[in-house]
Structure 1
Amino acid sequence: MSMKTSALITHQLISTARQGNDVPLLLSTKLTLPRRGRGILPRPRLESLALDIAERRLTILKAPPGFGKTTLATIWADSLAADGHAIAWLSLDDEDNSPQRLLYYIAAALNQAEASVGRACLGLRAELSFFSTETLASLTINELSHLERPLTLFLDDFHRISDSVLVEGLRFFLQRAPDSFHVVFTGRRDLPAALRDHLYADDLLELDSSQLRFTLEETRDLLKKAGTDLEQTGELLAVQAASEGWIAALRALLLTPRSSAGSSLKHLAPRSICNLFDDMLQGLSVSHRQDVYRLGMLNKFNVGLLSRLLGSATGSQLLELLQQHQLFISSLDSQHTWFSLHPLFREHLKRICVSNHPGEAQDIQLVAANWFAEQELWLDAIGLGLEGGDADQVRAWIAQCAMELIEQGDFAAVAMLETCWKVRAEECPLPLKMARAWAMGLMLEADGAQALLSEIEAQLWRQGTSHSNQSLYCEVQALRALLLGLADQNELSGALAEACYRASPPRVWVRNVLLNLMSCSHYHASRWDAFYILPPTTLGSGRQPGLIYHDCYRQSLHALAESAQGRLGDAVGCLENLLERLAGTFCTELDRPNPALTALPVVLLAQMHYLMGNRQAAESRLAESMGFINTGGFLDCTAAAYCTSARLSWQQGNSQRARRTLEHLDGLATERGWNRLRARVLMERTRINLLDHKCREAMACTHGLNELLSKETSHDNTEIQVFAVLCELWLALHRIEETPMLIERASQLLDILARRQLQLMRAEVSLVLGLLLCTKGRDQDGRPLLDDALDMIKQSGAISLLQDLPLAPSCADAIRQFYPAWWQQAGKYLRGGGAADTCTGMSECTALLELTVKERQVMRLVAEGKSNKQIARDLNVTPETIKSHMKSIFAKLKVDSRAQAAVMLQNA
């Protein structure tokens, strides 16, 4: 619209206002889209919903302040305008709280969008107050019916208008408006039911804070865009947990000093956020406000708990009030029975409650603790009981539930339980002492666990033999086998586990531990027949997180075995199926196992995505679980997490961060006595030093690796040999140093790897050895190795073996000269460039262009490593719809797995 037209409309509106005192003075700023701030992060999953708005009669965007409602609405408005919609905007305020004034302003907004609409209502001038709302609405509806293009009206801050005024002013208008007319409401509370009762389900699109909150990936992107790149991925998880994706809280983090960016947001909330909380609370009555303050003492609640604390009627009313006013409340389960408040809001309420009524705050904690104990929700009961100061009751609860909590794999509870155990350890009964030993072992506190086991064995010896004592003694040996396995002494661990397994039938949880240890031993020794015929994990009939933990461990080992043998697609499928099964079994945040349980398969999936060249999915998976992998992660998972993270950092140009990640990993390896992991770190350091042209440092790391190999006394050191030979071959390729008999030792190692069917390691050694032989002019010996390596890489999909080569320029030139055909094939993968296979690339692009818009949206989210359920939530559709899209995508792209589709998307 031209400036002249805008001025004319404004003049008309002002003239109309002067005809009578009942006509409102229209503000043109209320009728224009607010200007978006700088630094807005693109959010495709929400912005793409503009397409759905065009197909729905009514869209509701409801959330507390600071969730980006208005920003998203303006983005939708721009997108719809680009698609040919007429856009009308009205920012409401408290003065608009009358039906006639509301309709008059809507007519003005519509008139600004389309000059032929709203004129009749605006033309009534001073007589406006004499007409009914139905008459005013009818005038505008008649004008809307003559429009030749769709029109979308955005009503921002509808919560400023009372429900009665909204219903009186808009009910008839919304019911009778033509199909080409769409309305988007944005506000902080529910829209009155009377305004949407007439709609079919597919005519309504409703979004709340659960969809508006930033996902982990969006939080990471926002911090990166603002220049706040958190040092460790665990810090990102801490920020996400504290903010729960609330945009206002994340913006507050960006205003804090860089040195404190990784700390918990609950200590960083600026005064402005506290003022916002206070302003929202002032809208409640005094009694309701006091009740909300009490909720700050609870991490979660339901109607039953509120009824115990406040009385049955008050509890229900308070819950309804919180939901109606969108007071930072979130549902924790699909049945909407359990709820929690935003961490920052809860902390603010708790601080006020403790400060004003300390005695009452303690009573609330103890009453709630006893209620949770009655429900056998032990972790909640113990936490509140400890905070409330009832140590004796907490001790009784711990004795009752300790092993149950340990078997559930809730490692977050272990530290809290350990605090209580140390109070009067001499009174600790044997079962509780055994639970404590398991906890310390699973937390990788081997020395403490061994000391406790010695105490238990001595006590068993003094008590003599009995059936219960024999069972406990078998459990002691099982835990010793676990400690050996966690210390990376896999052969000894497997032998002891097998002996325990055959000696007597242990309970299910211990039997699964032994099966996992035997499986791990067979995997490291490449005893594939024995590995595949072991009995499966016993899961039982119920949803028991402890047994799920064993399945996570077992399936992680299975994926490692498939990957080592060059079947990366099968490995990824195994892990994705496991995670899909977990998502279906534990469908809500409330009953989901501790994230430490699922961190094992997730970080392995990240490593495999990285190996297949899908770095975006690898980074997303790491962000989910990096903060939990130190809690109970075994060596291979820890190596996968940190080494993949270091390689991603280097790929993103952050060499220093990659080095610090490896330094941290080296510290963990040294602390836990993991020499195999220390060898892996030295290999990764050698590679980074060569890429950064630090030859002396690379040579020092290689010498340190060889020294570590010479002192290694374990039964099988094949993996460390591979690391050492690779480093020596890299040095030789860079013409820094070539050790005697290197080619012969590498050839012998290839024979060992072939016999053990370790295809990925064999491919990597064959690749570097073949390159070295070609650079020495022995291309007759090198070419078969390069051909074998490329075939294995193509079959496995592990293209990062080529991309991550620390390749010297002289080596690349030599290969181009001596083996141009191989270079042509490998060039599309090599980081250093080369002739790309443009025909393949063009065919991939053509196939991707055949996808529909929705299928491309699904593909982008697949490439980020998201499950069908996560994608369905992001796109506001059902999981069955996503399954249908995936089936169509596989057919069009001619692929068999999500990983292949994601790699095709990245390559194209």
Structure 2
Amino acid sequence: MPTGPPSASSKFRAPEPVGQWVHRARLTEMLHSDRKRRLALIHAPAGFGKSTLAAQWMESLASQGLVTVWLSLDRDDNNTIWFLSHLLQAIRKARPGLEEELQQLLEERPDDAEQYVVPALINAIDEGGEDIVITLDDWHLVTEPRTRAVVERLLDAGGSHLSFIITSRTRSGLPLGRLMVRDQLLEVDAVALRFDENESQDFLVGINRLDLDAGDVASLHRTTEGWIAALQLVSLSLRDHREASELIERLSGRHASIGEYLAENVLDTLDPETLDFLLTTSVPERLCAGLASALSGVELGQAMLEKIQAQDLFLQPLDEDGTWYRYHHLFEDYLRRRLERDYPGRTKELNLIAARWYSENGFPSDAVDHALAAGDVELAVEIVEFRAMWLVEHSSMSTLLALVGKIPADHVAGQARLQTAIAWAHTLLHQSAAAQSALDRAEAVMPADATLTEHDRFELGVEGLVVQSCIDMYGDRVNHVDELDEKCFAQADLLRPWIVSVAANVSTFKKIHDGDYPLALEQQRWAAKFHGLTSGPFSGVYGQCFAGLAAYALLDLDSVDQHFTAAVELGRRKAGRYSHAARLAGAMMGQLLYERGELDKAEKLLEETRELGSEGGVVDFMLSTYGTLARIKALRGDTPRAREILDEGDLVADSLGLDRLKLVMNLERVQLGISPRTIDAEPHNAVLGAAVAQEAADTTGPRLEGLAEARHQIQLATQLRSAMADAEHEGPASPRPLATVEGARRLLSRAAAYLGPRAELNARILLAAALEQAGNREEAETTLWPALETCCRLGLVRPVLDGGSGCLDLVRATSARLRREPGPEVRSHELPRFLSILIRLDSQAKTNRDARWSAEAVSPPTGAGTTVPEPGLSQREQMILRLVEKERSNREIAQELHLGINTVKWYLKSLFNTLGVSDRRACVIEARRRHLLPPK
């Protein structure tokens, strides 16, 4: 799925010569002599042949076997996402092996996409091993600092295989000073671009076959000062002029207005039909036959374009097959002024024609530009509104918001349909505040929106409820879902499939967290028809993932595998390998693979999902992304990395207000023992004492509503794990184990009653570990046995292995007992073999951790000028500390480490707290004092 508005292929092709080119040998030689420069900048005012020279250079470089890429810029490229999208498309046309999935990332990470795409692009070019030269034509049209920063980063960090040719009317927006110091800059300015007398002779006499003597050529060269556009106009004027010397004499001294003078003389010699065609087709920046016919009323638009081109009337083809054209900028400007002078008011009419043509032919950005140029804001709104939900369904949320950004805000505010689409876009980008604001505006203006029919109001009312429910779901709430049964599902056939599809997913989410797993699966079976009718993969992927979650809760692993596999395949097939949808499905599949012990595959998928950051789906997806990935890193012996991942999970939880995610990150820390256990609850003994009292009354207690039950059980598990860890440190005399056992019984009771077989399995394993710690080996083995049988049958190794040291002691004891006296309860050799696998995997994990610790212990002593990491300072914090010392800004640190800027701020806050300082300068001073940085 392409990112950004559709683009004519002409953006990606160098201009073709009209007739012959003057061979610029002296300038081409300059390029070849400085081939290894990172940037060749060609800058001059209009009409000096910048694009033509760049095209000649590209042709020459391609003949030497280099990969050449052309991108013609326009004002839409000020949108950084669109610029990057166009750049990737251009590169992929020249080198098809470039991964298409980078495109999708642009739509799904609009706030910091370049942090991921630019490094990936640089790496892909380096790994390809081929030299690539990228031409950016008309750079002066790009004024957005963020887009300029992307090109600056490519120029600074692009590596030896990447270089640029840039044409521009100015020198601004490029890191010229740094490039000059590094001897990586080649500049060609207006003085160098002017034709010398020999080139003027070649152009006027050799190519245009004008009957001029050496004196005439010299006079024209002096008069035009080698200005190429003026010489081209001269050649047209002299073509049918009998007295060349007389015209040349009249031109003498008129250099300031020579362009208009000659254009006037050229146009006055044309027949009325040709002149009218030129004037009416000058309004858009590029032309094709259909658009030209619509503007001019000439049926044979292609034939007319070819006639204009044959007459050398400054019409340049933009592609090889002659589909798209543009006028030379100077000639175009003059034609537009002439149109306004001769036909006042006609420009508005032509802009409206162009707007409608572009809209009907799939170019919404151009359509909006022309509608606004005509002053018809309502038409611009209509164009965006017509395209809006198609963009949402295809995960092109950033493109939609960029199109909306072109329209004055006061004209957008009163449009209920458009505000609803904007709310969808922000919701799917996890921008809840902006989504809520747009949704509230849609509901407020709906009664006064005269464009709406009664059915429109009904549908928008239901759609608004679905958007609100979706906002709540991403916030880990299920506040409005019950209303969907009556208002949406009962009238599903009257609604667009997208509305019903998403509503079914939200309803399924609630049923999962109410413990109604069979109903959740039934909901998804019913919704399959609506998922299939949506045009994009997004809601279908969510539906498969939610069905998989419900099946997981029931431990129906065959169904889980089917649903998660279908989700991954759907996301990749419809949106790409690294699309948002595919990565979300990857989080779920990664969890399944992890529990089966396939750590390498799981790690790869979870790392890919982790790149989504705060846009990583609902909380259930994030639990896998951060919690499971941290476990894998810990198993690798990389505790600092595990801590770092859990810290990132905390950051996301804090920024989005996701309490359940925060609680699980804390539980993972306790289980992995990688940071102080800070429990946001009562002291352990008091809590466990309450649990004992409740258990003594032999009551499970009522189920807490919705997600509150899951949160409660997470908190209880955290308290139990923390108490068990404390008891392990305190030794056999600790009074904690008995209280822990009673708390674990309570957790098992609630898990079995309210959260289903999977939660019961985990709670059973925890209770067995607590019983073992309390010295009750016989009951511990009896308690663990059903869990072992279940895990053996399903091929799940991690639930038992993650149960802790006490659980593994039980596994070894059970394995040894079965070898001595296999009882009648062991119906095959599968369980003993499974226990052997668990023991072997645990030993391997310990070996990996020991090997890493041993390597760190025997690492060479630090020498002069090196720093000694302080205990508690992660590797990432050390890297950021060194960049702070170099006075890098937060954004520069984010760019260098490929982090979001908010993540950098979080790490800085952590650094300041660790060092007891409040600003950057004090941070560096204190770090030096503690020998975390070398002395100044």
TM-score by length of 1: 0.51
Q: Show the counterpart of 1:269.
A: 155
Deviation at 1:687, TM superposition (A): 2.5
Q: Show the counterpart of 1:826.
A: 838
Greater gyration radius: 2
Q: Conserved in 1, the CA contact under 8 Å of 2:800 and 2:807? A: no
Q: What is the identity, as a one-letter code, of the residue corresponding to 1:432?
A: L
Deviation at 1:386, TM superposition (A): 10
Q: Show the counterpart of 2:880.
A: none
Q: Conserved in 2, the CA contact under 8 Å of 1:252 and 1:268? A: no
Equivalent positions of 1:874-889 (< 5 A) are none
- 1:126-159 alpha-carbon deviations (Å, 9 max, x no partner): xxxxxxxxxxxxxxxxxxxxxxxxxxxxxxxxx9
- 1:459-493 alpha-carbon deviations (Å, 9 max, x no partner): 45568994443333333333333333333223x43
SS at 1:245 equivalent? helix
Please state if 1:685 is matched with 2:672. no
- 1:382-421 alpha-carbon deviations (Å, 9 max, x no partner): 6999999998875453233223323433222244245346
- Please, which runs of 5 or more residues in structure 1 have no aligned partner? 1-93, 95-158, 164-185, 190-206, 218-231, 254-259, 291-297, 323-336, 339-352, 837-908
Q: Show the counterpart of 2:362.
A: 376
- Which of 596, 604, 627 does residue 643 from structure 1 map onto? 627
Q: Show the counterpart of 2:420.
A: 434
Q: Show the counterpart of 2:395.
A: 409
Q: Show the counterpart of 1:571.
A: 560
Q: Conserved in 2, the CA contact under 8 Å of 1:493 and 1:521? A: no
SS at 1:493 equivalent? coil
Whole-angstrom CA distance in 2 between matches of 1:439 and 1:540: 20
- Which of 577, 585, 591 does residue 607 from structure 1 map onto? 591
Whole-angstrom CA distance in 2 between matches of 1:639 and 1:359: 62
- Which of 227, 247, 250 does residue 126 from structure 2 map onto? 247
Equivalent positions of 1:140-539 (< 5 A) are 237-239=116-118, 242-243=121-122, 245-247=124-126, 267-270=153-156, 275=163, 373-378=359-364, 394-417=380-403, 419-420=405-406, 423-424=409-410, 428-460=414-446, 466-490=454-478, 492-502=479-489, 504-505=491-492, 506-507=494-495, 508-534=497-523, 535-537=525-527
Q: Which segment is superposed worse, 572-581 or 367-376? A: 367-376
- 1:222-263 alpha-carbon deviations (Å, 9 max, x no partner): xxxxxxxxxx9988842465348212699999xxxxxx9xx9
Q: Evaluate the alpha carbon distance shift between residue 702 and residue 815 of structure 1 in structure 2; reply closer, same or farther with a 3 A threshold.
A: farther
Q: Conserved in 1, the CA contact under 8 Å of 2:354 and 2:367? A: yes
Q: What is the identity, as a one-letter code, of the residue corresponding to 2:710?
A: E
- Which of 686, 708, 711 does residue 720 from structure 1 map onto? 711
Q: What is the identity, as a one-letter code, of the residue corresponding to 1:800?
A: R
Q: Conserved in 1, the CA contact under 8 Å of 2:66 and 2:130? A: no
Q: Conserved in 2, the CA contact under 8 Å of 1:305 and 1:371? A: yes
Q: Which segment is superposed worse, 663-672 or 365-374? A: 365-374
Deviation at 1:678, TM superposition (A): 1.6
Whole-angstrom CA distance in 2 between matches of 1:252 and 1:740: 69
Q: Evaluate the alpha carbon distance shift between residue 422 and residue 487 of structure 1 in structure 2; reply closer, same or farther with a 3 A threshold.
A: farther
Q: What is the identity, as a one-letter code, of the residue corresponding to 1:826?
A: L
Equivalent positions of 1:23-172 (< 5 A) are none
Deviation at 1:583, TM superposition (A): 4.8
Q: Conserved in 2, the CA contact under 8 Å of 1:729 and 1:742? A: yes
- 1:519-568 alpha-carbon deviations (Å, 9 max, x no partner): 1111112213322322533557988434x322111111011122222234
Whole-angstrom CA distance in 1 between matches of 2:784 and 2:400: 51
Deviation at 1:452, TM superposition (A): 4.2
- Which of 755, 758, 761 does residue 760 from structure 1 map onto? 758
Q: Conserved in 2, the CA contact under 8 Å of 1:233 and 1:627? A: no
SS at 2:615 equivalent? coil
SS at 1:488 equivalent? coil
Q: Evaluate the alpha carbon distance shift between residue 359 and residue 720 of structure 1 in structure 2; reply closer, same or farther with a 3 A threshold.
A: farther
Q: What is the identity, as a one-letter code, of the residue corresponding to 1:268?
A: L
Equivalent positions of 1:583-594 (< 5 A) are 583-584=572-573, 586=574
Q: Conserved in 1, the CA contact under 8 Å of 2:131 and 2:162? A: no
Please state if 1:631 is matched with 2:615. yes
Deviation at 1:449, TM superposition (A): 3.8
Q: Show the counterpart of 2:878.
A: none
Q: What is the identity, as a one-letter code, of the residue corresponding to 1:478?
A: V
Deviation at 1:702, TM superposition (A): 7.7
Whole-angstrom CA distance in 1 between matches of 2:687 and 2:352: 55
Whole-angstrom CA distance in 1 between matches of 2:461 and 2:714: 40
SS at 1:545 equivalent? coil
Q: Conserved in 2, the CA contact under 8 Å of 1:683 and 1:702? A: no
Q: Evaluate the alpha carbon distance shift between residue 648 and residue 435 of structure 1 in structure 2; reply closer, same or farther with a 3 A threshold.
A: same
Q: Evaluate the alpha carbon distance shift between residue 756 and residue 402 of structure 1 in structure 2; reply closer, same or farther with a 3 A threshold.
A: same
Whole-angstrom CA distance in 1 between matches of 2:97 and 2:444: 58
SS at 1:537 equivalent? helix
Q: Show the counterpart of 2:544.
A: 555
- Which of 545, 550, 554 does residue 535 from structure 2 map onto? 545
Q: Show the counterpart of 1:10.
A: none
Deviation at 1:782, TM superposition (A): 0.4
Q: What is the identity, as a one-letter code, of the residue corresponding to 2:549?
A: L
Q: What is the identity, as a one-letter code, of the residue corresponding to 1:473?
A: G
Q: Show the counterpart of 1:149.
A: none
Q: What is the identity, as a one-letter code, of the residue corresponding to 1:373?
A: S
Q: Evaluate the alpha carbon distance shift between residue 406 and residue 236 of structure 1 in structure 2; reply closer, same or farther with a 3 A threshold.
A: closer
Q: Conserved in 1, the CA contact under 8 Å of 2:415 and 2:442? A: no
Deviation at 1:677, TM superposition (A): 1.5
SS at 1:444 equivalent? coil
Whole-angstrom CA distance in 1 between matches of 2:186 and 2:519: 64
Q: Evaluate the alpha carbon distance shift between residue 658 and residue 813 of structure 1 in structure 2; reply closer, same or farther with a 3 A threshold.
A: closer
Please state if 1:698 is matched with 2:696. no
Q: Conserved in 1, the CA contact under 8 Å of 2:781 and 2:810? A: no
Q: Evaluate the alpha carbon distance shift between residue 376 and residue 426 of structure 1 in structure 2; reply closer, same or farther with a 3 A threshold.
A: closer
Q: Which segment is superposed worse, 264-273 or 478-487? A: 264-273
Deviation at 1:426, TM superposition (A): 6.7
Q: Which segment is superposed worse, 383-392 or 764-773? A: 383-392
- 1:264-291 alpha-carbon deviations (Å, 9 max, x no partner): 5762334855657689999xxx99xx9x
Name the % identity: 19
- Please, which runs of 5 or more residues in structure 2 have no aligned partner? 1-31, 33-59, 69-91, 103-110, 133-145, 167-184, 189-198, 204-227, 229-283, 293-300, 310-314, 336-346, 691-702, 731-735, 818-831, 849-936
SS at 1:723 equivalent? helix
Q: Show the counterpart of 2:875.
A: none
Q: What is the identity, as a one-letter code, of the residue corresponding to 1:513?
A: V
Q: Evaluate the alpha carbon distance shift between residue 264 and residue 213 of structure 1 in structure 2; reply closer, same or farther with a 3 A threshold.
A: same
Whole-angstrom CA distance in 2 between matches of 1:741 and 1:404: 58
Instruction: Tell me how many residue pairs correspond in the alignment.
Output: 576
Q: Conserved in 1, the CA contact under 8 Å of 2:388 and 2:421? A: yes
Q: Show the counterpart of 1:327.
A: none
